[in-house]
Amino acid sequence: MNPLLFNDRTLKGPGVIARVTPTGTQYVASVVAAAFSSHFADIKPPKERKDHQLSTVSTVTLRRLMLETLQLDKQLVSTTTSDGLLRIAIRNISVSSSAVLSGELRGIKLQDNVTFRTPSLRLDVAIRISKNTGGNPALKMESCKILTQGIKLVTKPMDPRNGKSIADGIAIDANSIFSDMICSKIDHIVTNRVNQRFALLSSRISLEDSKNFDIVKIIMQAEERMKRLVRQNMIRSNKTMRRNVHAHTARRISRDPIRVRGIRQTDEDKFHLILNSFNFSRADSLMLDYSMLSSPSLTSRGIELQTSGEVFQSGHVTPFGAGPIFLPRVPNPSQMLQIVVSDFVPNSLMFHGHRIKLFDTRIDWTTPQFGPVMRTTCDLSTGSLFCIGDLFPALREMLPDRNIAFVFTTLKAPAVIVQTEEKGGIHFSLLGLIRLISDRNEPIGEMEIRIEALMKMKLTPKSVKGKVTIEEIQFTSRSPRILLQEELDDAGFLSREILQRMVNDILRQGIPIPIHPLFKLVKPKLTLLPRSMLLETNFILNEHIIAQLTAENLIA
């Protein structure tokens, strides 16, 4: 553990806090509403009412009610957030439904097919967002109201008086009729599609997978594992039932201890089946935890949530935590998303990366741009007028005209401390070991290296990348007969460029921005804060993936 983080050992705050602003909330709601609308006609929830008796014409019943079409304009979706609820209002929804008339009116038996439609339905839905046991979102429809205007009835020619009475009766009951059909479908999609799929989705993914995260594929694989587990449990249950039939007579006389052991064994088998459904093959890889730590807060500022943001190695504990971090008090109206990332996130990456030797690197005579420099002797014939031998004359005299490799490893986890630009920005600290090896694979010597540097940050849609400017370099020889301390003291300034390249190679992969893979950031802006970074950005939701998550069947 880096000494710069000793004071962080008792901290336990979130690594990331995020706010979806009112602008972002409305955009998300419009995309999700459009996805929902494309599936409405195909949804058949089990509690959907199929019949409706007209309240003003009690002898007439609409049977086999069916929602035929539902079309909406995303521009007519509005949202508010308050009291822990997301309220969504959609105006001018075009809806058509069909039914079969049943009953009798004015002595005429009714058996007609009828279609009724409205171009101006209003839908008001309130959704509560909480955290499921896996740290992913869980949605619950708290209320759903329908308001209709301008019902138009289409039917075969009938008695004009009957036609008007039925049309008026449907218009009076339209709010109730459409509420029964539409609200039950919304609840079905939320409960049986979105929530069930989020429950299958792990909130921890490997850093490698985060680069090309396919949420639909991951959920499909999880659904298949779940189905396979259910089938296996059913087979085991059938076998247990057959064994229990044979033991029936003995159970009538006394409690059969063998059966009790059988039940215990079955429970253990189920437990092992659950364990076997997970993939432990990447146990030593680094994982990114973007799980929510608590249920989101929904206020007039938008939707705010806290997530872990920790990069960790399975089976190992991060010995430090994140300190207090804060969102701006007022949302930025021109941005959809505001995220504050604690420097705990990159530090957890570097701590566990150090454990698995993620930052080990080698520079030798085959390394592009540095190949000619990695020699003990150099002249015009070698392609370079400067080489390692010029830094270390004792090494040149001992091993003339040889190729040399620098093999770097971290001795302690690197660390970054983020401060405002006025206080110097980002401070980067590294302690490592450089081993010198000859072109005959012979160990030559070792030296420690300590670097204190300042870092500039560059944002991409998926990561924060750093570029280091070295402020201080200190070498300490572990092989004083070959690597003279006096020469190492002189080499610090001359080797700055090489070492900056080595450190920047360590950071070239970037620090992942721990946001949900459904988002793609657009023109992110970065501001440095005490021990954290503020990211403000717009974003694009993958509408195809959103539509997949609400569809009955997933397609990879």
Residue 247 lies in a domain: no
> H/E element holding 33?
helix 22-37
- DSSP structural state of residue 287: E
Q: Return the SS3 of 471.
A: strand
**Mean predicted lDDT score pLDDT of the chain:** 82
Indicate if the pLDDT at residue 27 is higher than 90.
Answer: yes
User: CA–CA distance from 70 to each of 36, 123, 175 (Å)?
Assistant: 10, 12, 15
- pLDDT at position 501 is 76
Count Cβ atoms below 10 Å from residue 166 Cβ, excluding itself.
26
Indicate if the pLDDT at residue 51 is higher than 80.
Answer: yes
10 and 31 both lie in a single domain: no
150 and 60 both lie in a single domain: yes
Q: Tokens 């880096």 label which residue?
A: 2
422 and 331 both lie in a single domain: yes
Domain boundary, last residue among 200, 216, 245: 200
Helices marked H in 277-322: none
Q: How confident is the model at residue 24 (pLDDT cuts 50, 70, 90)?
A: very high
Q: Return the SS3 of 273.
A: helix
Give me the mean pLDDT over the 208-223 stretch: 56
Q: Return the SS3 of 256.
A: coil
- DSSP structural state of residue 13: B
Q: Which runs of E-coded beta strand occur in 402-486? A: 404-410, 415-418, 426-438, 443-459, 463-477
Closest to 324 in 3D by CA, of 342, 351, 309, 301: 342
140 and 182 both lie in a single domain: yes
Residue 417 lies in a domain: yes
Write out pLDDT tens, residues 154-202.
877 778 888 889 999 999 999 999 998 899 888 988 888 888 878 877 7
What total of structural domains would you count in the chain? Answer: 2
pTM over 0.95: no
Domain boundary, last residue among 149, 176, 200: 200
Write out pLDDT tens, residues 68-92.
889 999 999 999 999 889 999 999 9
- pLDDT at position 279 is 30
Question: Rg of the Cα trace of the chain?
Answer: 33
Segments forming the whole domain that contains residue 314: 3-14+278-364+403-539
Write out pLDDT tens, residues 465-503.
777 788 888 899 999 988 999 999 888 776 777 677 766
Give me the mean pLDDT over the 120-130 stretch: 95
Q: Return the SS3 of 257.
A: helix
Which CATH number covers residue 522?
3.15.20.10
Residue 379 lies in a domain: no
Domain boundary, last residue among 200, 228, 263: 200
Residue 381 lies in a domain: no
- pLDDT at position 267 is 36
Which CATH number covers residue 31?
3.15.10.10
Closest to 325 in 3D by CA, of 2, 9, 5, 12: 12
- pLDDT at position 269 is 35
Residue 335 lies in a domain: yes
472 and 329 both lie in a single domain: yes
- The b-or-e profile of 268-305 (16+ CB within 10 A means b, else e) is eeeeeeeeeeeeeeeeeebbbbbbbbebbbbeebbbbb
φ and ψ at residue 385, rounded to 5 degrees? -95, 0
185 and 288 both lie in a single domain: no
7 and 81 both lie in a single domain: no
Q: How confident is the model at residue 523 (pLDDT cuts 50, 70, 90)?
A: confident
Give me the mean pLDDT over the 506-514 stretch: 65
* Least reliable range by pLDDT among 11-25, 160-174, 287-301, 509-523: 509-523
7 and 49 both lie in a single domain: no
Q: How confident is the model at residue 407 (pLDDT cuts 50, 70, 90)?
A: very high
Residue 232 lies in a domain: no
438 and 300 both lie in a single domain: yes
Q: Return the SS3 of 8.
A: helix
- pLDDT at position 41 is 66
Indicate if the pLDDT at residue 255 is higher than 60.
Answer: no
Count how many Cα atoms sit within 13 Å of the Cα of residue 428 in the half-sphere of its side chain: 21
Q: Report percent pLDDT > 90 for the chain.
A: 44
Write out pLDDT tens, residues 327-337.
999 998 899 99
80 and 150 both lie in a single domain: yes
8 and 60 both lie in a single domain: no
Residue 372 lies in a domain: no
Count Cβ atoms below 10 Å from residue 439 Cβ, excluding itself.
15
309 and 193 both lie in a single domain: no
| Structure-token pair, residue 53 | 């008796």
Indicate if the pLDDT at residue 315 is higher than 60.
Answer: yes
Residue 398 lies in a domain: no
